[in-house]
Structure 1
Amino acid sequence: MKLDDAAARLEALGNPTRLNIYRTLVRAGAEGMPVGRLQAKLDVAASTLSHHIKSLVIVGLVTQVREGATLVCHANYELMHDLLAYLAEECCADGVRPAAERTCVA
Protein backbone atom coordinates (compact mmCIF):
# COMPACT_ATOMS: atom_id res chain seq x y z
CA MET A 1 0.00 0.00 0.00
CA LYS A 2 1.26 3.46 -0.83
CA LEU A 3 1.64 6.14 1.83
CA ASP A 4 -0.85 8.48 0.12
CA ASP A 5 -3.48 5.74 -0.10
CA ALA A 6 -3.05 4.83 3.56
CA ALA A 7 -3.24 8.51 4.55
CA ALA A 8 -6.46 9.03 2.56
CA ARG A 9 -8.09 5.99 4.16
CA LEU A 10 -7.04 7.00 7.64
CA GLU A 11 -8.25 10.54 6.99
CA ALA A 12 -11.66 9.17 5.95
CA LEU A 13 -11.83 7.16 9.16
CA GLY A 14 -10.74 10.21 11.16
CA ASN A 15 -14.26 11.60 11.12
CA PRO A 16 -16.37 10.26 14.03
CA THR A 17 -19.47 9.74 11.88
CA ARG A 18 -17.54 7.88 9.17
CA LEU A 19 -15.74 5.77 11.75
CA ASN A 20 -19.09 4.88 13.32
CA ILE A 21 -20.50 3.95 9.90
CA TYR A 22 -17.48 1.82 9.09
CA ARG A 23 -17.48 0.01 12.43
CA THR A 24 -21.20 -0.68 12.05
CA LEU A 25 -20.57 -2.19 8.62
CA VAL A 26 -17.70 -4.28 9.96
CA ARG A 27 -20.04 -5.61 12.65
CA ALA A 28 -22.67 -6.39 10.00
CA GLY A 29 -20.39 -8.99 8.44
CA ALA A 30 -20.16 -10.16 4.86
CA GLU A 31 -23.88 -9.60 4.13
CA GLY A 32 -23.45 -5.87 4.70
CA MET A 33 -26.28 -3.56 5.63
CA PRO A 34 -28.95 -1.77 3.61
CA VAL A 35 -28.57 2.01 3.69
CA GLY A 36 -32.02 2.43 5.26
CA ARG A 37 -31.18 0.12 8.15
CA LEU A 38 -27.80 1.81 8.58
CA GLN A 39 -29.54 5.18 8.73
CA ALA A 40 -32.04 3.98 11.33
CA LYS A 41 -29.37 2.25 13.41
CA LEU A 42 -27.12 5.32 13.51
CA ASP A 43 -29.93 7.89 13.63
CA VAL A 44 -28.26 10.04 10.95
CA ALA A 45 -30.01 12.22 8.37
CA ALA A 46 -30.13 10.58 4.93
CA SER A 47 -28.15 13.37 3.26
CA THR A 48 -25.47 13.25 5.98
CA LEU A 49 -25.22 9.47 5.72
CA SER A 50 -24.96 9.64 1.93
CA HIS A 51 -22.17 12.21 2.13
CA HIS A 52 -20.14 10.14 4.59
CA ILE A 53 -20.69 6.84 2.79
CA LYS A 54 -19.49 8.49 -0.44
CA SER A 55 -16.25 9.48 1.30
CA LEU A 56 -15.69 5.89 2.42
CA VAL A 57 -16.51 4.54 -1.05
CA ILE A 58 -14.05 6.95 -2.72
CA VAL A 59 -11.14 5.58 -0.66
CA GLY A 60 -12.32 1.99 -1.15
CA LEU A 61 -13.19 1.13 2.45
CA VAL A 62 -16.87 0.61 1.59
CA THR A 63 -18.54 -0.89 -1.44
CA GLN A 64 -22.19 -0.61 -2.42
CA VAL A 65 -24.30 -3.15 -4.27
CA ARG A 66 -27.83 -2.61 -5.53
CA GLU A 67 -30.11 -5.52 -4.66
CA GLY A 68 -33.40 -4.73 -6.36
CA ALA A 69 -34.53 -1.40 -4.95
CA THR A 70 -32.19 -1.67 -1.96
CA LEU A 71 -28.66 -0.26 -1.78
CA VAL A 72 -26.50 -2.44 0.46
CA CYS A 73 -23.19 -1.24 1.91
CA HIS A 74 -20.31 -3.57 2.67
CA ALA A 75 -17.06 -3.02 4.52
CA ASN A 76 -14.10 -3.90 2.30
CA TYR A 77 -12.41 -6.37 4.65
CA GLU A 78 -9.47 -7.05 2.34
CA LEU A 79 -8.59 -3.36 2.22
CA MET A 80 -9.10 -3.04 5.98
CA HIS A 81 -6.62 -5.87 6.57
CA ASP A 82 -4.18 -4.33 4.08
CA LEU A 83 -4.37 -0.99 5.91
CA LEU A 84 -3.76 -2.63 9.27
CA ALA A 85 -0.86 -4.61 7.82
CA TYR A 86 0.60 -1.42 6.36
CA LEU A 87 0.48 0.23 9.77
CA ALA A 88 2.27 -2.68 11.42
CA GLU A 89 4.60 -3.89 8.65
CA GLU A 90 7.71 -2.19 10.01
CA CYS A 91 6.91 -2.66 13.66
CA CYS A 92 10.10 -2.57 15.71
CA ALA A 93 12.25 -2.38 12.52
CA ASP A 94 14.53 0.24 14.05
CA GLY A 95 14.94 -1.62 17.32
CA VAL A 96 18.40 -2.05 18.76
CA ARG A 97 18.21 -5.84 19.18
CA PRO A 98 18.71 -8.17 16.18
CA ALA A 99 15.50 -8.91 14.30
CA ALA A 100 15.48 -12.55 15.46
CA GLU A 101 15.36 -11.39 19.11
CA ARG A 102 12.68 -8.69 18.78
CA THR A 103 9.20 -9.13 20.13
CA CYS A 104 6.83 -6.93 18.17
CA VAL A 105 3.84 -5.51 20.02
CA ALA A 106 1.67 -5.59 16.90
Structure 2
Amino acid sequence: MDKRSSLAALAALGQETRLDIFRLLVRAGAEGVPAGEVATRLGAVQNTVSSHLKVLSQAGLIRPERDGRVVRYVADMTGFRDLLAYLMEDCCNGAPELCRPVIDAVTCRC
Protein backbone atom coordinates (compact mmCIF):
# COMPACT_ATOMS: atom_id res chain seq x y z
CA MET A 1 0.00 0.00 0.00
CA ASP A 2 1.23 3.50 -0.72
CA LYS A 3 0.58 6.85 0.90
CA ARG A 4 -2.30 7.78 -1.41
CA SER A 5 -4.13 4.47 -0.83
CA SER A 6 -3.64 4.67 2.92
CA LEU A 7 -5.04 8.21 2.97
CA ALA A 8 -8.12 7.02 1.04
CA ALA A 9 -8.64 4.15 3.49
CA LEU A 10 -8.20 6.37 6.54
CA ALA A 11 -10.55 8.98 5.09
CA ALA A 12 -13.13 6.27 4.42
CA LEU A 13 -12.93 5.06 8.01
CA GLY A 14 -12.91 8.62 9.32
CA GLN A 15 -16.67 8.97 8.90
CA GLU A 16 -18.96 7.57 11.61
CA THR A 17 -21.39 5.60 9.44
CA ARG A 18 -18.63 4.14 7.29
CA LEU A 19 -16.73 3.05 10.39
CA ASP A 20 -19.93 1.41 11.68
CA ILE A 21 -20.39 -0.36 8.35
CA PHE A 22 -16.80 -1.61 8.31
CA ARG A 23 -17.06 -2.92 11.86
CA LEU A 24 -20.38 -4.62 11.04
CA LEU A 25 -18.79 -6.37 8.07
CA VAL A 26 -15.74 -7.41 10.09
CA ARG A 27 -18.07 -9.02 12.66
CA ALA A 28 -20.01 -10.76 9.88
CA GLY A 29 -16.87 -12.46 8.59
CA ALA A 30 -16.66 -14.25 5.26
CA GLU A 31 -20.45 -14.57 5.04
CA GLY A 32 -20.81 -10.82 4.63
CA VAL A 33 -24.06 -8.88 4.80
CA PRO A 34 -26.51 -8.09 1.98
CA ALA A 35 -26.49 -4.40 1.06
CA GLY A 36 -30.09 -3.80 2.15
CA GLU A 37 -29.51 -5.50 5.45
CA VAL A 38 -26.54 -3.24 6.20
CA ALA A 39 -28.91 -0.27 6.13
CA THR A 40 -31.49 -2.06 8.27
CA ARG A 41 -28.99 -3.14 10.91
CA LEU A 42 -27.60 0.37 11.20
CA GLY A 43 -31.00 2.08 11.06
CA ALA A 44 -29.84 4.16 8.13
CA VAL A 45 -31.32 5.20 4.78
CA GLN A 46 -30.46 2.67 2.07
CA ASN A 47 -29.29 5.15 -0.60
CA THR A 48 -27.00 6.85 1.93
CA VAL A 49 -25.56 3.48 2.96
CA SER A 50 -25.08 2.66 -0.72
CA SER A 51 -22.85 5.70 -1.18
CA HIS A 52 -20.88 4.79 1.97
CA LEU A 53 -20.42 1.24 0.66
CA LYS A 54 -19.02 2.67 -2.56
CA VAL A 55 -16.48 4.82 -0.70
CA LEU A 56 -15.34 1.87 1.44
CA SER A 57 -15.11 -0.35 -1.64
CA GLN A 58 -13.07 2.21 -3.59
CA ALA A 59 -10.74 2.49 -0.59
CA GLY A 60 -10.11 -1.27 -0.74
CA LEU A 61 -11.62 -1.99 2.68
CA ILE A 62 -14.70 -3.93 1.57
CA ARG A 63 -15.78 -5.76 -1.55
CA PRO A 64 -19.12 -6.69 -3.08
CA GLU A 65 -19.89 -10.33 -3.83
CA ARG A 66 -22.84 -11.30 -5.97
CA ASP A 67 -25.00 -14.12 -4.62
CA GLY A 68 -27.66 -14.58 -7.28
CA ARG A 69 -29.66 -11.37 -7.26
CA VAL A 70 -28.29 -10.30 -3.89
CA VAL A 71 -25.11 -8.29 -3.47
CA ARG A 72 -23.34 -9.09 -0.21
CA TYR A 73 -20.57 -6.94 1.15
CA VAL A 74 -17.63 -8.41 3.01
CA ALA A 75 -14.73 -6.77 4.78
CA ASP A 76 -11.59 -7.01 2.66
CA MET A 77 -9.19 -8.11 5.35
CA THR A 78 -6.28 -8.06 2.90
CA GLY A 79 -6.90 -4.36 2.26
CA PHE A 80 -7.20 -3.69 5.98
CA ARG A 81 -4.05 -5.71 6.71
CA ASP A 82 -2.20 -3.72 4.03
CA LEU A 83 -3.31 -0.48 5.69
CA LEU A 84 -2.08 -1.65 9.08
CA ALA A 85 1.20 -2.86 7.57
CA TYR A 86 1.73 0.52 5.91
CA LEU A 87 1.05 2.36 9.17
CA MET A 88 3.45 0.11 11.07
CA GLU A 89 6.09 -0.13 8.34
CA ASP A 90 8.74 1.77 10.27
CA CYS A 91 7.51 0.65 13.66
CA CYS A 92 9.61 0.95 16.74
CA ASN A 93 12.80 2.21 15.10
CA GLY A 94 14.38 -1.19 14.62
CA ALA A 95 12.94 -2.83 17.74
CA PRO A 96 10.04 -4.92 16.34
CA GLU A 97 9.49 -6.65 19.69
CA LEU A 98 7.97 -3.37 20.91
CA CYS A 99 5.26 -3.72 18.26
CA ARG A 100 4.38 -7.30 19.20
CA PRO A 101 1.42 -6.33 21.44
CA VAL A 102 -0.15 -4.35 18.58
CA ILE A 103 0.46 -7.16 16.09
CA ASP A 104 -1.01 -9.71 18.48
CA ALA A 105 -4.08 -7.51 19.04
CA VAL A 106 -4.89 -7.24 15.33
CA THR A 107 -4.13 -10.83 14.37
CA CYS A 108 -7.34 -12.66 13.58
CA ARG A 109 -7.82 -15.84 15.57
CA CYS A 110 -11.07 -16.87 13.88
| TM-score for the superposition, normalised by structure 1 | 0.86
* Distance of 1:60 and 1:102 partners within structure 2: 29
In structure 1, what is the equivalent of residue 6 of structure 2? 6
From the two aligned structures, give the one with the greater helix fraction: 2
Match of 2:98 among 78, 96, 103: 103
In structure 2, what is the equivalent of residue 96 of structure 1? none
* Distance of 2:7 and 2:71 partners within structure 1: 28
- Aligned to 2:86, the other structure's residue is in SS state helix
In structure 2, what is the equivalent of residue 64 of structure 1? 64
| 1:103 aligned partner, one-letter code | L
* Distance of 2:96 and 2:19 partners within structure 1: 36
In structure 1, what is the equivalent of residue 75 of structure 2? 75
| 1:81 aligned partner, one-letter code | R
Shift of 1:18: 0.4
**Number of aligned pairs?**
101
In structure 1, what is the equivalent of residue 36 of structure 2? 36
In structure 2, list runs of 5 or more residues that go unmatched: 103-110
Percent of residue pairs bearing the same amino acid type: 43
Structure with max Cα Rg: 1
- Aligned to 1:29, the other structure's residue is in SS state helix
| TM-score for the superposition, normalised by structure 2 | 0.84
Deviations 1:8-64 (A, max 9, x none): 110111001100000000000011111122111101101110010010111111111
Shift of 1:100: 5.6
* Distance of 1:90 and 1:82 partners within structure 2: 14
Runs of 4 or more, structure 1, over 3 Å off, are: 99-102
CA RMSD of aligned residues (A): 1.7
Distance 1:48 1:2, change over 3 A: same
